[in-house]
Amino acid sequence: MSSEEENEIIDEVEALLKDLNLGDSYTLKSADKKSAHSQVIDAFKKYWNNKYPYFERYGQQYIDFVGKDGRAEGHILLVMEVDARASGGVKNCVKLANTRSTNKVWIHISRSEDAQEQFDRALYDIQRLLVMREEDKESFGNFVAFLKTPEEVKKVVLL
């Protein structure tokens, strides 16, 4: 996969997040309505199945989204974790780091007033983890974090 194709996937993730209206679901966990987490994952499943008709839950780690190139044994093009709590960022970063994918995405969804602060703290911890693991873009792949709030989508390229 060329770097242009890798960047295209990340751009598509950003565009889908910007178009996704989560409404009141940021905090809902009732059985009659989907949580924001479920809506984000379902939107990516639908998008991915239209592009590459293959999706799976990945191994025992249960990564939220694994997008392959259309075959069960195919190349993993995108792995994604979605969290409503920023504190899950480091744990899920480890899950992402342990996969072989050219594109790794962590999404923090929040409607909290201090969402940016939470996101920044999580990014700091994730960056420390990447330094401790001595990760680089060549071996790790693209790693991008997004903050999705009702007002905006913020993108931060980590690697």
Of residues 99 and 6, the one with the higher pLDDT is 99
Q: Where are the domains of the chain?
A: 3-157
Environment class of 150 (CB within 10 Å of its CB; exposed 0-12, middle 13-18, buried 19+): middle
Q: How confident is the model at residue 48 (pLDDT cuts 50, 70, 90)?
A: confident
Of residues 56 and 18, the one with the higher pLDDT is 18
Q: How confident is the model at residue 7 (pLDDT cuts 50, 70, 90)?
A: confident
The reported pTM is 0.80
Mean pLDDT (the chain, rounded): 84
Q: CB neighbours (10 Å) of residue 158?
A: 17
Q: Which residues contact 6 (CB under 8 A, 6 or more apart)?
A: 102, 103, 141, 142
Residues 9-13 have a mean pLDDT of 91
Residues 128-152 have a mean pLDDT of 92
pLDDT digits (tens, 9 = 90+) for 54-105: 555 555 458 888 888 877 677 888 999 999 888 888 888 888 988 888 899 9
Provide the pLDDT for residue 88: 82
Q: For residue 12, which of 67, 60, 57 has the smallest C-alpha distance?
A: 67
- Report helix, strand or coil for 141: coil
Flag the least confident range among 2-6, 23-27, 39-43, 144-148: 23-27
